[in-house]
Amino acid sequence: MNVYAADAKRYETMKYRRCGRSGIMLPEISLGLWHNFGAVDSADNGEKILLHAFDRGITHFDLANNYGPPPGSAESFFGTMMEKNFRPYRDELVISSKAGYGMWSGPYGDFGSRKYIVSSCEQSLRRMKLDYVDIFYHHRPDPDTPLEESMGALDHLVRSGKALYAGISNYKPPEAERAFKILRELGTPCLIHQARYSMLDRWVEGGLMDLVGREGVGTILFSPLAQGLLTDRYLDGHIPAGSRASKGVFLKPERLTDAMMKKLNALNTVALERGETLARVAIKWLLRDERSTSILVGASSVAQLDDNLLALEGSPLSEAELVKIETILRLPE
Ligand code: NDP
């Protein structure tokens, strides 16, 4: 059996940003295991992507109880990788998980009760073969459970040593602000907010980025490539076999309208003029905001991950390029 030895140069090129006003630094690019690491996917390919990521300085892997499919299987796969490859590097890794969406049957396997959040974290630890996660998130707000209860559960997980830090995800500014206050009062300040942000989905610009900046909370931005739309995957209007759009579940083929293709191709022209790919420009565009702690990408191959990592090289986007992009982003989809 080959024993994995991480690349000795892994910290030479990756850049790290401080997560809000905390002691933790996160890589500018982190890797999420929502897709491509479930029991239905190639374990060999998944292993190659994970090891390559760590070899390139990606110290942060993001999971959730329900990632797969089937739900739980991405965490189980990650547990196998912990045992086989990553155990000697545990202290170099920031591993996160979440609870908030439906995970098991009955009234206790969904949303935001203390019972669900605490037992789900315990299940995640067992699947991932970990004693603790670095970050545990409430995955989405629950309108029917008092926020004090959900945040109290995160505080409990931190105090009991099952998580080092608490985070929230998909919270809108008013409820995020309340969550930050409750967590601060409990003595477990919120480390990070995980939110969707890309050139095609800019809702966080309507107050969330200002809030986290003000509160000293970090942000990790998910689906930065709009699940693959902001790459060269669909630029000719064709849906490649095996791509996320071909599966039609989370990325609907209906999104590939003529107007969307026009917009994506206009963005791609900006990228080509820089000698870069659209994916790299989409990541650079997110990194322009210093309140973006980390860009949380997905990848179905090592080549895609490498393409994304190239976003950290070369010059940032110029003012003129940002203006050009802004004009394109106003086009209809
Ligand atoms: P992305 O927007 O980065 O989409 C990733 C997909 O885009 C890949 O699977 C691949 O699709 C395609 N792709 C990636 N890079 C390239 C490239 N360079 N060239 C061509 N195609 C590329 O992010 P995800 O939507 O996957 O989300 C990332 C992570 O964010 C998740 O794994 C999860 O950790 C987190 N997340 C959190 C959520 C939350 O509610 N908190 C919700 C959703 C995600 P293909 O399979 O077609 O090759």
Our answer on whether the CB atom of 226 is closer than 6 Å to any ligand 1 atom is yes
Two structure tokens written together for 82: 């912990």
Q: How far is the CA of 108 from the centre of ligand 1 (A)?
A: 29
Q: How far is the CA of 224 from the centre of ligand 1 (A)?
A: 7
For residue 261, give the nearest of 230, 284, 298 by alpha carbon. 230
Q: Is residue 327 classed as helix, strand or coil in its secondary structure?
A: helix
Cβ–Cβ < 8 Å for 28, 308: no
CB contact set of 90 (below 8 Å; sequence gap of 6+): 82, 130
pLDDT tens digits along 75-102: 999 999 999 999 999 999 999 999 999 9
- Residue 116 in this model has a pLDDT that exceeds 80: yes
pLDDT tens digits along 218-232: 999 999 999 999 999
Q: How far is the CA of 244 from the centre of ligand 1 (A)?
A: 9
pLDDT tens digits along 167-214: 999 999 999 999 999 999 999 999 999 999 999 999 999 999 999 999
Cβ–Cβ < 8 Å for 308, 49: no
Instruction: Tell me the average pLDDT of the chain.
Output: 97
Our answer on whether the CB atom of 75 is closer than 6 Å to any ligand 1 atom is no
Cβ–Cβ < 8 Å for 258, 185: no
- Residue 1 in this model has a pLDDT that exceeds 70: no
- Residue 129 in this model has a pLDDT that exceeds 90: yes
For position 279, what pLDDT does the model report? Answer: 98
For position 333, what pLDDT does the model report? Answer: 86
What residue spans define the domains of the chain?
Answer: 16-229+289-314
For position 170, what pLDDT does the model report? Answer: 98
DSSP class of residue 38 equals: S
- Name the percent of the chain lying above pLDDT 90: 98
∠299-265-278 over CA atoms, to 5°? Answer: 35
CB contact set of 328 (below 8 Å; sequence gap of 6+): 263, 266, 267, 270
Per CATH, is 16-229+289-314 categorized as 3.20.20.100? Answer: yes
DSSP 221-265: EE-TTGGGTTSSSSTTS---TTSHHHH-SSS-GGG--HHHHHHHH
Q: Which of 30, 36, 304 to mutate to test the pocket of ligand 1 (most atoms within 8 A of CB)?
A: 304
- Residue 329 in this model has a pLDDT that exceeds 90: yes
pLDDT tens digits along 296-321: 999 999 999 999 999 999 999 999 99
How far the first Cα of the chain sits from its last, in Å, is: 50
Q: How far is the CA of 196 from the centre of ligand 1 (A)?
A: 11
pLDDT tens digits along 11-50: 999 999 999 999 999 999 999 999 999 999 999 999 999 9
d(CA 83, CA 81): 5
- Residue 112 in this model has a pLDDT that exceeds 90: yes
DSSP class of residue 88 equals: G
Our answer on whether the CB atom of 279 is closer than 6 Å to any ligand 1 atom is yes
Our answer on whether the CB atom of 299 is closer than 6 Å to any ligand 1 atom is yes
d(CA 200, CA 267): 11
- Residue 2 in this model has a pLDDT that exceeds 70: no
Q: How far is the CA of 59 from the centre of ligand 1 (A)?
A: 17
